[in-house]
Amino acid sequence: MRELGIGLIGTGFMGRAHALAFRNVSAAFELPFTLRLAALADADSIRAQTCATAWGFEQAYGDWQRLIDDPKVNLIAITTPNHLHYPMAMAAIAAGKPVYCEKPLAVNLQQATAMHRAARDAGVVTRVGYNYQHNPIIGLARALIHSGGLGEIISFQGEFSEDFMADPASPWSWRCEAEHAGGALADLGSHLLGMARYLLGDIEAVCADTQTVHRQRPATAGSEEQRRIAVDDQVHALLRFASGARGTFSSSWLKHGYKNHLSFEISGTMGTLAFDQERLNELRLYRVGQDGFQRLLAGPDLPGYAAFSPAPGHQLGYNELKTLEVHELIMAVAGLGAAGTDFEQALAVERLATAIRQAAREQRWVDVREV
């Protein structure tokens, strides 16, 4: 077995999730590499050292470029604010190292396109953190759809809502700046767009409306100084799939009571399938002729589940999904698999998000090929 040195940039919520996944994947799966937690970087060098020590990384850096240049680092994981994805990924690609980048891929379509082209030309493996698609129960949903179990798919109704920005007194953060983030559409909606494409294929046209509800927020917690907000708080869209199916899409970070409400209902000529990430280990399935919906629980018969539990109904969680994503990343680096969202597929999500913004701005249907 060869050794694969992991370099992690960022120490926030997602940085911790990546660190846990890289630590856990060796216990859950037989890998083609021995993993080495080689280096961790954060702009705060003291925090970098604290997290490196706590999470088991050998080296800490206050400069991310030094991490990329470190010869012990063979794979770069990027978990920073969105506007840093582009320079970090491009530097990693230039160094010939595989890149595992959190979503959304970039802050605009031009950056995302350049990242995809650079990775393609360099021949490096890329993956993007659309971890919800790695849920074993989502694999079951996709199999049911693709096997024709719902008949011809005619309808998709999707929503991803949370309430972490619902309080207008919640302070400004980097998520509130278009140059750094992209609002609820980028933060939450990109996951739902990726999920819709994963389950039902390409979306060819969109019509949309976006809204900024809270147009200013305190500069810091409790501050009387207000900062202007220009990103969307909520977005609603109509979708036309290349298959002929029609869909609705909505995303909000203002919806009180919801914590991780990535949900969808998919209807076909022979049945309906429903899912909610807040109950991530189950599907609701109705087939013509049934007396009501059937509840399907995840279990070890589904690929990936048995790596964590031998019994059905024992529940996987968010970090297990991240571990499943990292497993597929490592297999791809070893040339042993192609599962997961790469830069090309993530670019398609960015194109969709751009089309939605254009449709909302121009108040018309936009063919995604125009973008």
Q: Give tens-digit pLDDT for 288-347.
A: 999 999 999 999 999 999 999 999 999 999 999 999 999 999 999 999 999 999 999 999
**Which token pair is 44?**
């705060």
Sheet strand arrangement including 271-276: 294-297, 282-287, 271-276, 261-268, 153-161, 246-252, 234-241, 203-211, 366-367
Band the pLDDT of 1: cuts 50, 70, 90.
low
pLDDT of residue 178: 84
**Which token pair is 144?**
């049911």
Q: Residue 338 phi/psi, 5° resolution?
A: -130, 15
Residue 210: enclosing H or E segment and its boundaries? strand 203-211
Band the pLDDT of 177: cuts 50, 70, 90.
confident
d(CA 263, CA 324) in angstroms, rounded, equals 20
pLDDT of residue 182: 83
Q: What is the 3-state secondary structure (H, E, C) of 247-299?
A: EEEEEECCCCCCCCEEEEEEEECCEEEEEEHHHCCEEEEEECCCCCCEEEECC
d(CA 59, CA 52) in angstroms, rounded, equals 7
CATH topology for the 132-309+343-370 domain: Dihydrodipicolinate Reductase; domain 2 (3.30.360)
- Closest alpha carbon to 323 in 336, 311, 312, 309: 309
The residues spanned by each domain of the chain are 2-130, 132-309+343-370
pLDDT of residue 48: 98
pLDDT digits (tens, 9 = 90+) for 83-118: 999 999 999 999 999 999 999 999 999 999 999 999
Q: Which CATH superfamily is domain 2-130 in?
A: NAD(P)-binding Rossmann-like Domain (3.40.50.720)
pLDDT digits (tens, 9 = 90+) for 44-86: 999 999 999 999 999 999 999 999 999 999 999 999 999 999 9
| Fold match, 2-130 / 132-309+343-370 | no
pLDDT digits (tens, 9 = 90+) for 115-173: 999 999 999 999 999 999 999 999 999 999 999 999 999 999 999 999 999 999 999 98
d(CA 6, CA 359) in angstroms, rounded, equals 40
pLDDT digits (tens, 9 = 90+) for 226-280: 999 989 999 999 999 999 999 999 999 999 999 999 999 999 999 999 999 999 9
pTM of the model: 0.96
- Closest alpha carbon to 77 in 336, 322, 348: 322
d(CA 96, CA 74) in angstroms, rounded, equals 9
pLDDT of residue 197: 98
